Structure 1
Amino acid sequence: MLSNAEECLSQKTLHRHHFAMLRARNVAMDAHIELKNWNEALRYGEENLESYRHQYQFIHPSVGVQLMRVGKLYNYLGNVTKALEIFKEAHQIISVTHANQHALYQALRELLTGCEMELQIGNQRLPLDGPEVT
């Protein structure tokens, strides 16, 4: 499936925001996630995010879900600050399109909280080789 999707994407016959291209990038992204190729998955995710924003110019759940997927990839790659930024953007959409009790909203809240806690703990760590405090 990955090779078929990438072959489709290499053809320049359709506009990059065309739904068929978006679907092919989704297939490629999912395949790279399965293979744990986070950087390649992120590349396709970022490209698709641009297309989702182009296709759905207003608040739309598809944009929110894609933001969550891209944020998770940034988190897997250790870029917690960028992940948090993207999760906050997703929250602006998902909090409007889904009820607070919805599983997607709850999952997003957990991702946000996890990133916030990780950054807070990281900021509280003292350097191991730092000067002695008297």
Structure 2
Amino acid sequence: MAELSNCKNCGRVFVRVASPYCPECLKEQDRLFDLVYKYITSKEHRMATVPEVHEETGVSADLIYQWVREGRLTTSMFPNLGYPCKSCGTLIQTGVVCESCRTKIEGELRRADEEKKVSQKNQESITYHTRNSRF
């Protein structure tokens, strides 16, 4: 359902249907995307990295990272394009975190789960004794 929203880019109020950007900013992004796409599809620039594309086209690296993340720029066609891992900043081409960070996070979660199980087991096995002088 449509709702009033502020554009994520310029802050103008617009009727939001799907995108967080107003129609004018979407047109500008499409123009910039065409510029980037034209640059990287030329034979001599297929292996360009995001910083190189940014430097040559003037399009912000964050916007290029966003297009790679969204799949608009496919890494199968342009293997040197990627975006930073949310944890360590290493360039990745899929997901949110790199393999190294994913392995580290999974290990930490496993350890925390094991510690929780041990803690619960210890709490279950505690016996409380009270002294009652009547018996």
**TM class by shorter-chain length?**
0.3 to 0.5
Higher helix share: 1
Q: TM-score, normalised by structure 2?
A: 0.32
Structure with greater strand share of residues: 2
Larger radius of gyration: 2
Q: How does the TM-score come out when normalised to structure 1?
A: 0.32
Question: Structure with the greater relative contact order (CA < 8 A, sep ≥ 6): 1 or 2?
Answer: 1
